Each structure stands twice: as C-alpha cells, then as structure tokens.
Amino acid sequence: MDSEAPQVEMVFFPFVGGGHQIPMIDIARLFASHGAKSTIIVTPTNAIQFQNSILRDQNSGHPISIHALQLQEGAVSPDSDMTATPATDTTVLQEPLKLFLIEHKPDCIVFDMFHRWAAELFDGLGVRKIVFNGSGCFPGCVSENLRKYEPHEKVGSDYESFLVPGLPDRIELTRSQLPIFVRDKSGRFDKKGKDEDKSFGSVVNSFYELEPAYADYYRKEMGKKAWFVGPASLCNTDVADKAERGTQASIDEQSFMKWLDDKETNSVLYIGFGSKPRFATGQFAEIAHALEASNHSFIWVVGKDFKDEENCLPGGFEERIKESKKGVIIRGWAPQLLILEHGAVGGFMTHCGWNSMLEGVCCGVPMITWPLSAEQFYNEKLVTDVLGIGVQVGSKEWISFKSEKKGLVGREKVEVAVKRLMGGGDEVVDIRKRAKELAGKAKKAVQVGGSSYIDADALIEELKSLKKNVN
Ligand code: UDP
C-alpha cells in the first residue's frame, strides 16, 4: 500500500432495518479494518444498536465512527417504531444528511438502494456514490435475465415452470415464485439497477468463490463495476459482537449455550426466517407438528411479533419440547451467528434471505430452503441447484410485505425435508461435505490475500488515486 497517500474517507448510509442494515454496518467495519476512515450514518434511534461493536473496533485502533443524524424538530425517525420494511420512506433523513456531506466531503458514500431519493441528492452534491443492494450476483443475474427475456410471459399458468435463459446453469422457476413487481411490470423492476448503472460501482456482500460464474457474468455480461468484499459477517470475530449483532438477543445466553453444548454434533436444526418472520395463519402449527413428528432437536426463532392466539401452536407443544429438552423457542431476536457456528447445529431451515444464506455458508451448515419474499426464491436455487448444499421444503408462493399471507406448506412436506436433511443418509453426507468446503473458501476469501480482501483493498486504492489526482 502507498503510505504517502492520504487516508480515504468513506461514509456508509445503511437502510433503517434488519437484513440490509446489519451487513452494511459489517461492511463499514470491514473497510475500517482495511484502514479507510469509515463513518456510519444512522438515525438517532438505531445509533445505540451498534455502538458497542464500534467501540470495540475503535479500541482496536480502527478508524471508525457513528454519526447520528439530527432530525428537524417534530420529524419522526422512520425506524422509531422498529417496523421499517423495504418500502419505508426515509426522505426525512435527507436534509440532515445533506448538511453532513457538505461539511465532510467524503471520498465516497456507500448507500442502500432502498433510500430511493439518495442517488439524486449525492449527484447534486457531487459526492461519489457506491450502491449496496443487500444481495449477491446470482440473484442479480436471474433478475436481469428475467427482465431481458421475460420467460415468465410465455408460460400458461403461474405454476408451470420455465427456464431462465442465458445463465451459466439451468435455473427453473415458476411465475408464482416471482416478485409481484416482476410479474406486473409496475416499473419498479426497471428502476432496480438504475442507481447501480449511474454510480461509481457497487459493493457486494459476496465472495468470488461462492458464485464465480455469476460474478463473471455480473461484471462482464451485465457490465457492472463491483467489489465483492464479503461475507461481511466474518468481520465479527469477537463473541460479544456475534451475540449482539443487530440487537441484543432475547435469550438467557448461558443456559441456552449449555443446552446446545449438551447436544451431539450436527444433531440440532436451527429454524430462523430473518429479521421479521411472518407467515400465513396456521403455518406455525404445521411446522410444530412436523418437528414433533421428525423427532429431531431444534431451535426455532418465532420472532417478537409472534402471538399465541394467532399462531396457535399445538396444545402442550411448548411444555413437551421443554420437558424432553428437544427444542427451544426464541420469541424475539436470536444470536444467529453464535448458533450457526455451534458444532451441534447441523441444519438451518431458512427463508433464504441473502444474509442468512451467506451466514449458513460461512458456518458450513446445510440448509432447508423455505423462500418467502424479495429475491429469496432465486437464492434458493443457488443453494440447492448450483451449490448443492441444501434441500427445498417446496415453497411455491412469493408473498409481499403488504399482501395477505398465503402459500401454506403442509406438515408432511416440512417433515420430509427435516428428516431428509437431519437424517444423515448418503445424500446428506455429500451435502455436508460441500457445505464444509464452501465454509473454508468463505473464510479464506476475507483473509489477507483472499479474493474479498483484495477487492476491498482495490476499492480503497482506487479512491486514493482519485483523491491524489484531485489534490
Ligand atoms: N438475525 C439475527 N437474529 C434473528 C433474526 C435475524 O441475528 O433473530 C440476522 C441474521 O443473522 C441476518 C439478518 O438478521 O444477518 C437477516 O437478514 P436476511 O437477509 O437473512 O433476512 P431479512 O431479515 O432481510 O429478510
């Protein structure tokens, strides 16, 4: 590295909730660990959530800080009630962010694409912008070729499968698995990617070895300038960082870890559906029946919005699993990274959110895929059809954050998937082997000399040289 060069100043502007915010905080920490002066812009509400990790990084000498935006009097922070979704309007942050940028003039701002107004502001101020879209290359390529070839327009029904043309692998989907805005051509589909096209590039939470053919396709065929710097979660090396990631876990950690320590290797199924688990009425009961029938140990994160009257677990279920020590239910936030890396955890039933999927990969845990929304049906295909590290539960219906919840998956299907992955047959031996190999590649990617390490340095160097040219 060039020691004469001035320090690069990067600003990170994460979205205001869960699955997009967590990795961007990690990415900011990652760039700080590479020597870039990193500032994370947050709302007053979420400043508290990350400050301990950031403090620990500062104590380790990393040049990182948090800047909480001061909202105008009477303005309500978009995350004040902790219910933000990708559709949440964050325009109220615009003015205070503008003032910050005018004063600080950073070398770039890495911003979440869900701040829909932001690209225009940065252009107006002449701030170099780098997009973060929270996802990987594979879903980006699927999405691009659906837009380009519209194969879903050529099938006779929502449940007839079609091939996504032009991809390195044979990827099949049904129209029922596509986001509504892809099916109805509402325009959002076209807008997606536009910010990326007009920016300096994008920072991707992925690593080259996970999806080499798609990383190449993304760069060469789709013409994207992108730095693959992940898996971002691997910057959490401290147990405290893992335990508090996103928010404080809602469990008694010691007794919980003791419960896990007493279990055999690969014997526990971890069930988590992201930062906002939500299902059709009756789905939780189907899962509970399947778990009891399969007789495997499990940890199940039902989330903080879980209501007994709505979700109706079978009578006596919780008492039975507690008494038999078969299962633990978490009614709130789980320390997902700590759980996944525990040797007793041998399977991850996941909604295929990009972060959860990557975290499963990093820990070498095979998956039962249960996509629900966003680009999760594409991610499922990466896990099962491309990487061969999971089995599908058989989810067929894409559901939006707003729409009525549908697409119940029956207990029989759930039981079959659980037994298939946790039962330990020949198929699973191969799946586990592939998952472990991939975990090794993930760790290597972020170490000195690894592909993601090199990419992160490359971005910093590029920003440095641009800075020198201006000075
Ligand atoms: N997460 C967690 N504990 C929970 C639920 C979620 O730590 O109880 C974290 C998880 O580790 C991941 C993120 O929240 O980093 C969820 O992101 P993902 O992309 O998987 O799903 P989303 O919430 O965006 O649907």
Clarify whether 112 is annotated catalytic.
yes
Burial of residue 304 (number of CB atoms within 10 Å: 0-12, 13-18, 19+): middle
The rounded distance, in Å, linking the Cα atoms of 362 and 357 is 9
Beta-carbon count within 10 A of 135 CB: 25
Q: Is 407 in the same domain as 432?
A: yes
Residues 46/49/50/52 CA torsion (nearest 10 deg): 140
Residue at 205 is within a domain? yes
Q: Is the pLDDT of residue 299 over 70?
A: yes
Q: 271-275, 298-302, 312-316: which range is least confident on average?
A: 312-316
Query: Could you identify the atom of ligand 1 that is nearest to the CA of residue 245?
Result: 7
Give the CATH number for residue 102: 3.40.50.2000
Please give the distance, rounded to the nearest whole angstrom, from the Cα atom of residue 333 to the centre of ligand 1: 9
For residue 300, list its beta bridge partners.
271, 329
- Computed over every residue of the chain, the mean pLDDT equals 91
* Rounded average pLDDT over 51-70: 94
Please give the distance, rounded to the nearest whole angstrom, from the Cα atom of residue 274 to the centre of ligand 1: 4
Q: Is the ipTM of this complex over 0.90?
A: yes
Residue at 220 is within a domain? yes
* Rounded average pLDDT over 282-299: 95
What does the DSSP assignment read for 346-377? Answer: EEEEE---HHHHHHHHHTT--EEE---STTHH
Q: Is the pLDDT of residue 192 over 70?
A: no
Please give the distance, rounded to the nearest whole angstrom, from the Cα atom of residue 307 to the centre of ligand 1: 20
**% residues pLDDT > 70 (the chain):** 93
Query: Could you identify the atom of ligand 1 that is nearest to the CA of residue 233?
Result: 15
Residue appearing with tokens 């900011």: 28
Q: Is the pLDDT of residue 424 over 90?
A: no
Query: Could you identify the atom of ligand 1 that is nearest to the CA of residue 373?
Result: 25
Residues 216/123/102/462 CA torsion (nearest 10 deg): 30
Query: Could you identify the atom of ligand 1 that is nearest to the CA of residue 352?
Result: 20
According to the model, what pLDDT value does residue 5 have?
59
Residue at 150 is within a domain? no
The rounded distance, in Å, linking the Cα atoms of 291 and 302 is 14
Q: Is 186 in the same domain as 300?
A: no
Q: Is 35 in the same domain as 51?
A: yes
Alpha carbon nearest to ligand 1 atom 3, residue: 334
Please give the distance, rounded to the nearest whole angstrom, from the Cα atom of residue 355 to the centre of ligand 1: 6
Phi, psi of 109 (to 5 degrees): -125, 125
* Rounded average pLDDT over 69-84: 80
Residue at 198 is within a domain? yes
According to the model, what pLDDT value does residue 82 have?
65
Name the pTM for this structure: 0.95
According to the model, what pLDDT value does residue 29 have?
97
Residue at 63 is within a domain? yes
- The per-residue pLDDT for range 376-423, each reduced to its tens digit, is 999 999 999 999 999 999 999 998 766 666 778 999 999 999 999 999
Q: Is the pLDDT of residue 191 over 60?
A: no
**% residues pLDDT > 90 (the chain):** 74
Q: Which residues contact 387 (CB under 8 A, 6 or more apart)?
A: 210, 361, 434, 438
Residue at 316 is within a domain? yes
Domain count, the chain: 2
Clarify whether 261 is annotated catalytic.
no
407 vs 59: which has the higher pLDDT:
59
According to the model, what pLDDT value does residue 184 have?
79
Residue at 146 is within a domain? no
Q: Is the pLDDT of residue 7 over 70?
A: yes
According to the model, what pLDDT value does residue 246 have?
72
Q: Is the pLDDT of residue 193 over 70?
A: no
According to the model, what pLDDT value does residue 87 have?
82
Name residues contacting ligand 1 (CB within 6 A): 18-19, 22, 245-246, 272, 274-276, 301, 333-334, 336, 353-356, 359
* Rounded average pLDDT over 444-458: 98
Residue 401, domain extent: 244-442
Q: Is the pLDDT of residue 48 over 80?
A: no
Q: 162-166, 246-250, 360-364: which range is least confident on average?
A: 246-250
